Amino acid sequence: MITKRFNVFVYVLMVLPFLAIQSFAELPSDVFSVQQRWAEVNYQMQGDAKVAGYEELIAQADQVTASHPDSAPAWIWSGIIKSSFAGVKGGLGALGFAKAAKRDLERAMELDANAMQGAAYTSLGVLYMNVPGWPVAFGDKDKAYELLAHALEMAPQDIDANYFMAEYYQKEKDYAQARHYLELAKNAPARVGREVADMGRHGEIDQQLLQLSNKK
């Protein structure tokens, strides 16, 4: 059971993240840079190139948080990047990056829980939803729902908040609710400066809707 749950966790983290409906103009230039680079690495690279891209991006994100220790968006993107790399890396080594991502996201929430319209809530909710539970890790379905629901309260039209709430309901086999949130995600407003990320996310939405087409 633990192995099965861990494999699901790895898959979801491969498409994790994300999130920032805050305008790119409001971000420090180096935070904006890692945001843009994340979309390129996550959606446009494969295989060894993707691994190398993430390794470089993690180092860059660590430099950004060192330069902006009081910037919640910097810590959010550091968490997103480490979460995503956990999925690419796979195996037990992924848990170390997932736990590091959790720490970064919690740090962001300590600084400003409302930053990027609650993006840290969505990112952290996804981690709680997909990592194994105790004693392997910190996964908690109830905590995941609490975080994802709060993210949607803060940003009801956000493409990522809706997409991952759909993911939650799909895991619960509530396919009607999953389709509902996927449709909301599909019709979410475009994000300025996030064209690559939006294109990648829409591809994932279409894939999930197709998979749900035969489920009741």
Cα separation, 116 vs 26, whole angstroms: 10
pLDDT of residue 21: 37
Cα separation, 173 vs 171, whole angstroms: 5
Residue 60 burial by CB count (10 A; 0-12/13-18/19+): exposed, middle or buried? middle
pLDDT digits (tens, 9 = 90+) for 20-61: 334 444 678 999 999 999 999 999 999 999 999 999 999 999
DSSP secondary structure letters along 149-167? HHHHHH-TT-HHHHHHHHH
pLDDT digits (tens, 9 = 90+) for 175-209: 999 999 999 999 999 998 899 999 999 999 999 99
The model's pTM: 0.86
What residue ranges do the domains of the chain occupy?
Answer: 2-154
Say which residues have a Cβ less than 8 Å from residue 155's Cβ, sequence separation at least 6: 21, 117, 118, 161
CB 30 within 8 A of CB 67: yes
Q: What is the average per-residue pLDDT within 104-127?
A: 96
CATH for the stretch 2-154: 1.25.40
